[in-house]
Amino acid sequence: MPTKYVLDSSVIAAIFFQEPSSEKAARAVENRELVTVDLARAEVANVAWKRVTLFNEDREITTKALQMSMEFIGTSCEVIPTRELVGESFQIALKNKISFYDALFVSASLREGVPLLTLDKKLEKTSDLVKLL
């Protein structure tokens, strides 16, 4: 099993916001070097917003989970700035017909030469480095 992974936002969100894959996501990142893209902060915060506004989840619990997820990104992950990945990500997005946002994480994985962990099935087809949880 690899010692280093790039995490996309779906995996980070699963660790901090209860869902069926939460336990599996948390286990997958234990004792690993972790990398993500700065976009993960905004995407995970959007997950928190959806949980409160669309699914009526408890605001205080969700706010605490959001704070913990932001701390995790800041302390447990090497964070790659989007600006460093724009050119390659744009080409990946066009070639694979995926969103630019998703392509950023694929690009980070390719740059680092390590697997991308995701819960997004459509990303699995973009690179041999993409690992579906």
The pLDDT of residue 14 is 98
| 107-113 contacts at long range (C-beta below 8 A, 24 or more positions apart) | 108/6, 108/35, 108/36, 108/37, 108/80, 109/6, 111/80, 111/85, 112/4, 112/6, 112/35
pLDDT of residue 128: 80
Pairing of strands 116-118, 4-7: parallel
Tell me the one-letter amino acid at 36.
T
> pTM (2 decimals)?
0.94
Please name the amino acid found at residue 76. S
Domains identified in the chain and CATH numbers: 4-132 (3.40.50.1010)
pLDDT at 131: 87
pLDDT of residue 19: 93
Residues 6+ apart with CB under 8 A from 52: 58, 59, 62
Tell me the pLDDT of the chain (133 aa) as tens digits: 779 999 999 999 999 999 999 999 999 999 999 999 999 999 999 999 999 999 999 999 999 999 999 999 999 999 999 999 999 999 999 999 999 999 999 999 999 999 999 999 888 888 888 888 7
